[in-house]
Amino acid sequence: MSKVIITARAHQALMDKLTQKGYEVINAPSISYQELSDSLEGTEGLVVTTRIKIDRQLIDKATELKWIGRLGSGMELIDAEYAETKGIKCISSPEGNRNAVAEHTLAILLSLLNKIHSVQKELIAGKWLREENRRTELSGKTVGIIGFGNAGSAFAKLLYPFDVTVLAYDKYKFGFSKDYIKEASLEHVCRYADVISFHIPLTSETHHLGNDVFFRSLKQKPWIVNTSRGSIISTIDLKTALTDGLISGAGLDVLENEKLYSYNDQEKEMFHWLLDQPNVIITPHIAGYSQEAFLKMSEVLLQKLGLL
């Protein structure tokens, strides 16, 4: 019997369907790299997230592997190019959580503009401040979207009722302008956007795209939102942009280092500084973590594998 190893938390529907299709399912959401390496004999499929790096060493050891399925988006921890030279199919399921990411992005943005998170802190401290908390409306603004794939386009769709202009930049996608959505260069996004939201994969091209040069090219003092990957933005340069008034604030669902227990003194200081800012929101990489997406990602994976 062929084996599938699931290396992260997945919906029960995934295990049930794989079992129905005749697979021996090993549900091991806490499995370590070494434990996975030692368990690959007879494995036809792997289901992964961002917990374990699927590198050449693992791929070479998995001599019977036919497919690697990624729950969610982002393939940076899978050496997909090498896997495909071995005849191993690599698929992801961003369609499953794109709506969740889009809604979370909008929630962060509206919370920043309406000062909801910072007002809560003031109320806890016994402060009832009205004049100091005049808000900024999203309606009528120009929203820049960097990356117009699954999540970026889903976010743009949610913006329709706000009567905004969307300037969308995607280096690898064209011909998607429609109504309030306009294709734009990165330069135009930086020049005209009141909000800039990142929806791109982490690659050698996009690593630290949000750096000091980027922030100093911004003209409208925009709000920055990142629900893609932490290393898209340089945290040090983000802090400088905040202190120098180059941006109005930032909403981050992802960080360069999300393992808080591993922080050195400098990282701890930076993290707590960001948390102390009234114009910064940080959430713990939960943009794609809705109840609905938990099921949908498994369904999309099964569908792409021809098992649904």
Strands 223-226 and 181-183: unpaired
CA-to-CA dists, residue 91 to 5, 103, 201, 248, angstroms: 15, 24, 15, 38
Report the Cα 103 to chain-centroid distance in Å: 12
Contact 180, 166 (CB under 8 A): yes
Could you tell me which residues come within 8 angstroms of residue 132 by beta carbon, excluding any fewer than 6 positions away?
A: none
Q: What is the DSSP letter of 72?
A: S
Contact 138, 164 (CB under 8 A): yes
CA-to-CA dists, residue 279 to 46, 163, 223, angstroms: 41, 24, 9
DSSP string over 123-147: HHTT---SGGG-----TT-EEEEE-
How far apart are the C-alpha atoms of 42 and 24, rounded to whole Å? 10
Element at 276 (helix H, strand E): helix 265-276
Catalytic residues: 229, 258, 285
Strand pairing partners for 280? 250
Helix (H, G, I), strand (E, B) or coil at 91: strand
How far apart are the C-alpha atoms of 213 and 93, rounded to whole Å? 33
How far apart are the C-alpha atoms of 141 and 137, rounded to whole Å? 8
